[in-house]
Amino acid sequence: MNPELERVFGSLPLFSANFLQILSKSGQKKHLDFNNAQGYLHERLEAQLKATGKVRALCLKGRQQGVSTYIQARYFHKVVTSTGKKAFILTHDAEATKNLFNMTKRFYDNCPTGLIAKADLSNAKELFFKTLDSGYSIGTAGNKAVGRGQTVQLMHASEIAYYTNAEDHATGIFQAVSNEDETEIIMESTANGIGNYFYNMWMSAMSGKSEFQAVFIPWFWQPEYKSQQREGENSLSDEEQYLLSQYEHDGLTTEHLYWRRRKLHEFSNDYETSVEKFNTEYPFTALEAFRNPIENRFIRADIVKRAQKNNIDASMSPLIIGCDPAISDNDFTAIIRRKGRVAYGLELHHNLNTMEIAGALKRIIDKERPAKVAIDIIGVGSGVHDRLKEMGYECVEGVNVARSANDKEKFKNQRAELWHDMREWLAGELPVQIPEGDIMLGDLTSLGYKYDSSGRLQIESKEDLRNRGMKSPDSADALAMTFVVGEYLHAGAYKPEYISDKAQGMFI
């Protein structure tokens, strides 16, 4: 091999630009020259490979930014220029599987004759080069056993947020990739709300708790997502000017915002809903992408974000504590404080048993002297409530959110009534303050709603929420507990009682 060809073979960008044929969005045949998104992802992956000897990456991106195309090119290049490299591609549905593998077959079929080895096996699901002991195979998520028993060096999980059995694949085909050098696992997807496998993996990567790096690619890096201002069209709105000021340094332009304006009209007649759907498909930030774009959202994101930015003094108001207990692996015990118009001090505890939850609340009561502690007593919460009552804490009140509402004609149950009161508090004329952060925002805006045949408000159940791949809104349920006494509790309305000093040692 001459030196120039060897140089091209050793560089993925050069190899792609010279030998890998793709179809453009307009259907034109062309060689793969990396766009901004592809070039950025390549740099991030190569830096990780150099630093750690392997690639473990999560990529959150917008629609049609060429990320899957880049990964197909990356793995095809490794398969045909190395020995002992087996790549496996897993997608969310059969059509996507077919399309990605057809892309790889296009790479192979259009390589110049004699440039790479001839495949010994080439069919609808596999490409194998015996002389290199390298190959390329595909599968579709949904079948829990797909890919089990294989040994793989290169794994591409495409649109993983939409897998129906992501956790099963994590213990199956993903384990086919060893932890040796030169192995790669790349998971990429647009967002699909919070609480699913991809979201949880992303949060772990962002917090540094996993070996995966989180790579976010904003939609406005695509030059084709631009539009000119039309004759008679209004100039940028205040909202659009704000977005420009926030992201101009990253490449956002006025032409991008005019394109966004037109796209918003395609999503929904409701502006708030269309913005959130746009942000899922074309994210400015990871936080925007992971919001849940449901049509019938009970609490709007703009209300929550406004409350998270406020700074209010409510030191003179009585303290109410809300608790939503949980002991399952997927849920958290949430505890939150509220004084009038200020909610604060959110605590999330994982894998505490009933006595440990009771102990955590006991310590809070002893130190902070709340006027009321409201505990959801469905499930494990009944044991927490009973233990605290047994110890003499009269300020503790059990709340069965499944029972009839106080206003039976307006609400299906007490859960709907409490969430309604919480929304009225958030959206009222008087400003309120709540804890900042993605968890609070996501939990408060995750639930849908409907009205039953009697016209009563019904909030989406936790079971229905899980069926949409969403986690329990623990922090929001805890905050809702604080409204069992109404929006505001006047000083002196309750006289909290506490256990005597003599009884303090009874708790273990």
CATH of the domain at 313: 3.30.420.240
Q: Are residues 194 and 236 in the same domain?
A: no
Residue 149 pLDDT: 58
Q: Are residues 40 and 168 in the same domain?
A: yes
Residue 390 included in any domain: yes
Residue 95 pLDDT: 85
> What does the buried/exposed string (b/e) look like for 300-337 if buried means 16 or more CB atoms within 10 Å of the residue's CB?
bbebbebbeeeeeebeebbbbbbbbbbbeeebbbbbbb
Residue 145, pLDDT > 60, answer no
353 SS3 class:
coil
Gap between the Cα atoms of 266 and 269, Å rounded:
8
Residue 23 included in any domain: no
Question: How confident is the model over 451-474, as pLDDT tens digits?
Answer: 988 999 999 988 887 766 667 899
What residues contact residue 142 under an 8 Å CB cut-off, 6+ apart? 93, 163, 164, 165
Q: Are residues 93 and 233 in the same domain?
A: no
Pairwise pLDDT comparison (448 vs 503), residue with the higher score = 448
**Cβ–Cβ < 8 Å for 482, 321:** yes
Boundary-marking domain end, from 165, 182, 217: 217
| CB neighbourhood size of 456 (10 A) | 18
Percent of the residues in the chain that have a pLDDT greater than 70, as a whole number: 91
Mean pLDDT of 271-288: 83
Q: Are residues 320 and 445 in the same domain?
A: yes
Mean pLDDT of 410-414: 96
What residues contact residue 484 under an 8 Å CB cut-off, 6+ apart? 372, 374, 397, 399, 418
Q: Are residues 289 and 336 in the same domain?
A: no
Gap between the Cα atoms of 167 and 134, Å rounded:
28
Residue 148, pLDDT > 60, answer no
Largest CA distance in the chain: 90
Residue 85 included in any domain: yes
Residue 122, pLDDT > 90, answer no
Mean pLDDT of 37-65: 95
Q: Are residues 326 and 254 in the same domain?
A: no
Residue 20 included in any domain: no
Gap between the Cα atoms of 241 and 225, Å rounded:
18
Mean pLDDT of 364-391: 95
pTM of the model: 0.65
Placement of tokens 């549905």 in the chain: 93
Q: Are residues 144 and 81 in the same domain?
A: yes
Residue 157 pLDDT: 92
Sign for the pseudo-dihedral over CA of 79, 84, 90, 95: positive
Pairwise pLDDT comparison (142 vs 314), residue with the higher score = 314
Q: Are residues 199 and 282 in the same domain?
A: no
Residue 500 included in any domain: yes
Placement of tokens 């890096």 in the chain: 221
**What's the CA dihedral at 494, 348, 275, 280 to 10 degrees?**
-160
Instruction: Tell me the average pLDDT of the chain.
Output: 88
Confidence of residue 162 (pLDDT cuts 50, 70, 90): confident
Mean pLDDT of 359-385: 95
Boundary-marking domain end, from 217, 232, 259: 217
**Cβ–Cβ < 8 Å for 16, 33:** yes
Residue 329 pLDDT: 65
Question: How confident is the model over 181-238, as pLDDT tens digits?
Answer: 999 999 999 888 776 788 888 888 887 888 999 999 999 999 899 999 999 889 999 9
Question: How confident is the model over 395-410, as pLDDT tens digits?
Answer: 999 999 999 999 999 9
Q: Are residues 285 and 375 in the same domain?
A: no
Smallest CA-to-CA distance from 472 within 257, 79, 219, 195 is with 195
Question: How confident is the model over 85-99, as pLDDT tens digits?
Answer: 999 998 888 888 888
Q: Are residues 310 and 433 in the same domain?
A: yes
Q: What is the 3-state secondary structure (H, E, C) of 57-86?
A: EEEECCCCCCHHHHHHHHHHHHHHHCCCCE
Residue 71, pLDDT > 90, answer yes
DSSP letter for 448, please: B
Residue 275 pLDDT: 85
Residue 502, pLDDT > 60, answer no
Q: What is the DSSP string of 268-320?
A: -SSHHHHHHHHHHHS-SSHHHHHS---TTBSS-HHHHHHHHH-----TTSPPE
Residue 27 included in any domain: no
Residue 226 included in any domain: yes
Residue 389 included in any domain: yes
Q: What is the 3-state secondary structure (H, E, C) of 76-132?
A: HHHHHHCCCCEEEEEECCHHHHHHHHHHHHHHHHCCCCCCCCCCCEECCCEEEECCC
Boundary-marking domain end, from 173, 194, 217: 217
Residue 494 pLDDT: 45
| CB neighbourhood size of 262 (10 A) | 11
Residue type, 436: E
Helices and strands, counts by H and E, the chain? 18, 17
Q: Are residues 211 and 224 in the same domain?
A: no
Residue 276, pLDDT > 90, answer no
The helix (run of H) or strand (run of E) holding residue 205 is helix 197-206
**Cβ–Cβ < 8 Å for 59, 67:** yes
Beta strands in 301-446 (DSSP E): 320-324, 333-339, 342-349, 372-376, 396-399
Task: Quote the tokens at residue 122.
Answer: 């080439």
Mean pLDDT of 430-442: 89
Q: Are residues 183 and 259 in the same domain?
A: no
Count: domains in the chain: 3
**Cβ–Cβ < 8 Å for 249, 231:** no
Residue 373 pLDDT: 97
Residue 493 pLDDT: 45
What residues contact residue 366 under an 8 Å CB cut-off, 6+ apart? 498
Give the residue numbers spanning the domain of 259: 220-293
Q: The CATH number of the domain where 165 resides is what?
A: 3.40.50.300
